[in-house]
Homo-oligomer: A and B are copies of this chain.
Amino acid sequence: MTASRSRPDTDHYAEIEELGASPLWRYYGAIFDSEPRSRAVPYLWGYQRLRPHMLHFADALSLEEAERRVLMLVNPGMTEPPATVNNLYAGIQIILPGETAQAHRHTANAFRFIIEGEGAYTTVDGERVHMHPGDLLLTPGWHWHDHYHEGDGPMMWLDGLDYPLTNAMEAGFFELYGQRLQKPATPDDLSSRQFIHGRLNPTWVPRNPVNSPIGNYPWTETERALTSISDDATGSLYDGIMLEYTNPHTGGPVMPTMSCRISRLPARFDGRAHQHTSSTIYHVVAGEGRTEVGGTVLQWGPKDVFAIPAWAPHRHVNASTGDATLMSYTDEPAQRALGFYRERPVD
């Protein structure tokens, strides 16, 4: 090794640094950890405490100023860049009667889950989709969408997006439509009417393997599903009666990176603990209970939102005498698509 021996005084660490190189042996532990430690922390956002502020900003800030009037639910462990859990984001949006949120599109996949109000609709690629509490509306990546509220009283919903993933993948695009609102190009709510009943697919609609063609998964149907599955159903020891919203053309998740779910925790449900590499965000549709995440206990009630970090051991408990209903979404499809998904029970 004459080359190196010749100049014993050389500071090789400094010199390789200049060449854009670093010694792996000094980073090893940081790079290869025995198991994932999420930057996110278990956290709960209380709806009742946020609501007054939503109303304030609805009052104080016009939708012309704010592209969208949304409170981001930022995980204390993930403020830079802001995210709710790894790969996923949750926000609460409010729109007032007569207001419009202008048309745009982005690579990020999005959905809305309606919390309060009646009479608004979103227009997605030319189809008006009307909103009712409990409805799940999809805005898959790169679909034009704008909102309009023709009802009375404020309208509030949960926004779910995967922009943290989109941006981490350095794959995010954004575009304005040009005009404030799209013109309807198809009959209102057509996609839902065509797909929602009886597992029947219209044969004239081209197959879309990327994302669900359904604009709205209405609460009326979701509720029928939950009630038609009596408690004799097996369900999951971890998640209770958990149903996944599906793409009618694949039977898979509604969007390639996010799975949206609705679950019922029967009265006295005492869930078993497990952990998985996917991160999860929950929204409480109805009922009360708690979720134990590692040492943290999240006590949740109606309309609250809470976050479960990747690989965090967790279990759900419904100690009440009534059912609890939870809407949730997760990056499990992304984890699986990359071959990274792992799950295991925790004793």
| Bound CA–CA A66/B25 (angstroms) | 5
**Stretch from A112-120, A165-173, A292-300 that touches the partner:** A165-173
**Stretch from A144-152, A245-253, A283-291, A315-323 that touches the partner:** A245-253
| Bound CA–CA A174/B27 (angstroms) | 14
**Contact indicator A38/B170 (Cβ below 8 Å):** yes
Query: A230-257, CB under 8 A of B: which get 1 and which 0?
Result: 1011111001011111111111000111
**Contact indicator A165/B338 (Cβ below 8 Å):** yes
Give chain B nearest CB distance to A256 CB in angstroms: 4
Residues on B with beta carbons closer than 8 Å to the beta carbon of A52: 3-4
**Contact indicator A228/B197 (Cβ below 8 Å):** yes
Give chain B nearest CB distance to A179 CB in angstroms: 18
Does A265 touch B at the CB level, under 8 Å? no
**Contact indicator A170/B36 (Cβ below 8 Å):** yes
**Contact indicator B86/A169 (Cβ below 8 Å):** yes
Nearest to A164 among chain B residues (CB) is B31
**Contact indicator B201/A340 (Cβ below 8 Å):** no
Nearest to A74 among chain B residues (CB) is B22
| Bound CA–CA A25/B60 (angstroms) | 13
Total contacting residues, chain A, CB less than 8 A:
139
Query: A198-233, CB under 8 A of B: which get 1 and which 0?
Result: 111111100100111010011001101100111011
**Contact indicator B33/A172 (Cβ below 8 Å):** yes
| Bound CA–CA A32/B72 (angstroms) | 14
**Contact indicator A24/B72 (Cβ below 8 Å):** yes
Nearest to A256 among chain B residues (CB) is B339
| Bound CA–CA A35/B173 (angstroms) | 4
Residues on B with beta carbons closer than 8 Å to the beta carbon of A65: 25
**Contact indicator B243/A246 (Cβ below 8 Å):** no
Interface residues of A in 20-45 (CB under 8 A from B): 20-25, 27-28, 30-39, 43, 45
Q: Check A193/B12 contact, CB under 8 A, given A45-B21, A86-B170, A251-B250.
A: no
Residues on B with beta carbons closer than 8 Å to the beta carbon of A244: 200-201, 203
| Bound CA–CA A171/B14 (angstroms) | 33
Known: A87-B169, A193-B228. 15 other contacts (CB 8 A): A4-B60, A21-B53, A24-B71, A31-B163, A31-B167, A35-B173, A37-B170, A169-B335, A171-B277, A173-B342, A190-B232, A196-B199, A196-B228, A197-B224, A198-B243
> What are 8 A-B contacts defined by CB distance under 8 Å?
A3-B52, A27-B82, A31-B163, A33-B174, A107-B340, A169-B334, A197-B221, A200-B246
